[in-house]
Amino acid sequence: MINIYNDMTRKKEVFAPVSEDCVKMYVCGPTVYDYFHAGNARCFVIFDFIRRVLEYAGYNVKYVQNFTDIDDKMIERANRENISVGELADKFIAEYEIDAAGLGIKPASFAPRATEHIDEIIDIIKILVDKGHAYKSDKSADVYFSTKSFKDYGKLSGKKIEDLQQGERVDAGMLEEKRDPLDFALWKSKKEGEPYWETPWGQGRPGWHIECSAMVRKYLGDTVDLHCGGKDLEFPHHENEVAQSECATGKTFAKYWLHNGFINIDNEKMSKSDGNFFTVREIAEKYGYMPLRFFILSSNYRMPLNFSEEVIKAAQSSLERIERFRDTVDFELKNAAESANEENLDDLLKYRDKFKEALFDDFNSAAAVSVLFELIKEVNIKMGSASKKYLELAHELYDEFCGLFGFVAEAKESDVSEDYILKQIEARTDAKKAKDFKTADEIRDNLKSQGIVLEDTPSGVKWRRE
């Protein structure tokens, strides 16, 4: 049984998908006008992790994450670089895929681009116009959603129409276009230098909110199980998606809403518009990708996180500890003997139960990481005297836990094959037997220069990667 905190109801609920055959999950993806930053990465890593947990629990997950490839920022940058919006999108989708792979993010079942779904966008706008939930401006090709036509507007964010009206500020030109200041654009009129498409209302391009509604409907149907994104998308983006989708279909748009908290720098939200951010690429070039993934998963997904160089270094150290454990278990397994007095394997199996308990309590990755380190601590205590079956189970649990987290040891230029290392250890042992200590020391120092540390123990030579 999985418990999920549902932002729509503001409480934990037992997860019950619409269909047992398939969990439908939609994640709002990046606007591809630049490299994505650590704040964006938190969204992509968290929901990749949640997808993995659902699959671990036995569900078949249909996972859709879109690319927003047409908006004001994309048009502005494409014009500045004297390239088309499509060329800009192609470039940064490719860069996204590099960084996403580095972070261990599994490819989506579908990764649709907004500009490839103009027909679906036009179709849903037509439905809204025909039902009286949307209208064309008298002065342009703009089409607006009538916010007050949806009586439940604000149910996701908790905002009230009357409060929004008091705080709304609209310039005089826009008031001439709209019937109500709270109405939002479904379709925008063509402007000079912008891409455009032909529609029944005139030439133009889609609004941001309607893009996601159209892509959700195409790939996942009228109702999805999980709709996910950053906390900053809850209002107005997700609120507007709810309104336009439920007005178009007459059905519940999403059963569960999940939002991840911000990553802050000096307690201020990481944001490109404020210039207050580090790109994932910048972080990876200095520390690697996996420390960032570890940092993100070591805290509750709904809580804010504060980013600093110190926390990434700490994450790097934690991952090195995890990798050393793997190398040590691998080494011990090669030398372990069958034992007539097997340990009680239940002492290890209890960690699987604790791990699942953490995961299934609103995807508590922080508690699950703690369980991994508890396992490592217990096995390390028994290392050297443990039986083969005990070590095999420890290795199995390690692979199971780290596989779910998506923690993958990152290859280093200094990495060499295990076969090479073992042959070098054998050559060093032969040199020591021949009292050729100079050669033995040279082999040890050469391995160290390649990131391989040797340790002479009573039971033999152990090695690990730095």
Q: Is the pLDDT of residue 302 over 60?
A: yes
Q: Which residue carries 């508890």 as its tokens?
A: 374
Q: Determine which of 14-18, 180-184, 252-256, 337-341 has the lowest per-residue pLDDT on average.
A: 337-341
Q: Which pTM was predicted?
A: 0.85
Is the pLDDT higher at 465 or at 352? 352
The class that CATH gives domain 18-306 is alpha beta
Q: Is the pLDDT of residue 273 over 80?
A: no
At residue 172, the pLDDT reads: 44
- What is the arithmetic mean of pLDDT over 14-40? 95
* pLDDT, tens digit, 9 for 90 and up, residues 203-220: 999 999 999 999 999 999
At residue 329, the pLDDT reads: 92
Report the CATH architecture of 314-405: Up-down Bundle (1.20)
Spatial separation of the C-alpha atoms in residues 51 and 53, rounded to whole Å: 5
Q: Are 186 and 128 in contact (CB under 8 A)?
A: yes
- What is the arithmetic mean of pLDDT over 45-69? 98
- What is the arithmetic mean of pLDDT over 114-127? 98
The percent of residues above 70 in pLDDT, for the chain, comes to: 92
At residue 170, the pLDDT reads: 47
Q: Is the pLDDT of residue 270 over 90?
A: no
At residue 151, the pLDDT reads: 95
